[in-house]
Structure 1
Amino acid sequence: MATDSVVHQLAIRAGNRLRDERLMLATAESCTGGMVATAITDISGSSGWFERGFVTYSNQAKIEMIGVPSDLIDKHGAVSEPVARAMVEGALRNSRAQVALSITGVAGPGGGTESKPVGMVCFGWSNRLHTVVETLVFKGDRERVRVQAATHALRGLLILLDERER
């Protein structure tokens, strides 16, 4: 799939901000499978502000690649704010980036439960000093949930960058 135009435009805006502030970004993505990293690396010159992306789709990848504690996954499930927090903080620990975002969710069509329905996505954003997590439930098919998650993650990154200026 070609990168969604809204995701692409948000990636450009985030990249301009990161470049201007001389910051590097790391991503930790699960249900989006690297969609944010793809949108970023579609932009010429993104190596100047994108340090690395982790696609940690399986629980084992979350544990091995970015250090999410297995007991956290056992206790809360991979789709949870504690895991989103551990993912974003792990992306920072395992990179040279100053800011990061994480995404973990249930894109569907299967895999949902009553407490974690299809479309539920948990996000994390961090600048090494401050971490924010949030959960939203999106409507639509698998692709639409993934695009909405990538869009929201980039919007949250822009908010995090705005807060740095205050």
Structure 2
Amino acid sequence: MTPAALLNLARAKGATIATAESCTGGMIGAALTDVAGSSDVFDRGFITYSNAAKVEMLGVSIATLAAHGAVSEEVAAEMAAGALARSAASVAVSVTGIAGPGGSEFKPEGRVCFGLATAGGTRTETVEFGAIGRGEVRRATVAHALSLLAAALA
């Protein structure tokens, strides 16, 4: 779904959006705010690239980071829930992953964990985009995050 179509869907539903981004560094928020008039739907974005930022800005637990690492569904869930709690949004999406290059046997390049939080709760999923290059992983992450938001608003 295009950012403009997502914003129109949110308007139609009376919804507002927040983002919590790590590996995309603000690209989801940028995609939404590239559309003129987005300010009535897009509340705010949190760019929490470091673990300290995740803790300080979103309330991610140090224990969760220690137990699961930043690239985990557990952290993605806490990021999304934190963005929802710290904003005026009705839906929040979060992303944390390994865009590359690099990765490990346990957390390979191209793995991105997503969180989606609404008043009804938080859900997570992990997508393995593969070692398609840093830029492509980040672009695919933005597209998937917009799709998750659209599905939540449908």
TM-score normalised by structure 1 residue count: 0.90
- Equivalent in the alignment of 1:3: none
Q: Report the RMSD for the aligned CA atoms in angstroms.
A: 0.9
| Alignment-mate amino acid for residue 104 of structure 1 | T
Q: 1:23 aligns with which of 7, 11, 15?
A: 15
- Equivalent in the alignment of 1:89: 81
* Partner-residue secondary structure (3-state), 1:26: strand
CA distance in 1, matches of 2:50, 2:64: 14
Structure 2, unaligned stretches of length 5 or more?
none
Q: Quote how far apart the aligned CAs of 1:127 are.
A: 1.4
- Equivalent in the alignment of 2:42: 50
Moved over 3 A (4+): none
Q: Does 1:38 align with 2:30?
A: yes
- Equivalent in the alignment of 2:95: 103
| Alignment-mate amino acid for residue 67 of structure 1 | G
* Partner-residue secondary structure (3-state), 2:2: helix
Q: CA offsets, 1:87-117, max 9 Å, x none?
A: 000001111111110000000002x111100
Q: Quote how far apart the aligned CAs of 1:130 are.
A: 2.5
Structure 1, unaligned stretches of length 5 or more?
1-8
Q: Alignment length, in residue pairs?
A: 153
Q: CA offsets, 1:125-156, max 9 Å, x none?
A: 12121221000111300000000011011111
- Equivalent in the alignment of 1:72: 64
CA distance in 2, matches of 1:11, 1:132: 22
CA distance in 2, matches of 1:155, 1:84: 16
- Contact in 2 for aligned 1:92/1:100 (Cα 8 Å): yes
Q: Does 1:63 align with 2:52?
A: no
* Partner-residue secondary structure (3-state), 1:20: helix
- Contact in 2 for aligned 1:84/1:123 (Cα 8 Å): yes
Q: 2:120 aligns with which of 129, 132, 146?
A: 129
CA distance in 1, matches of 2:2, 2:92: 15
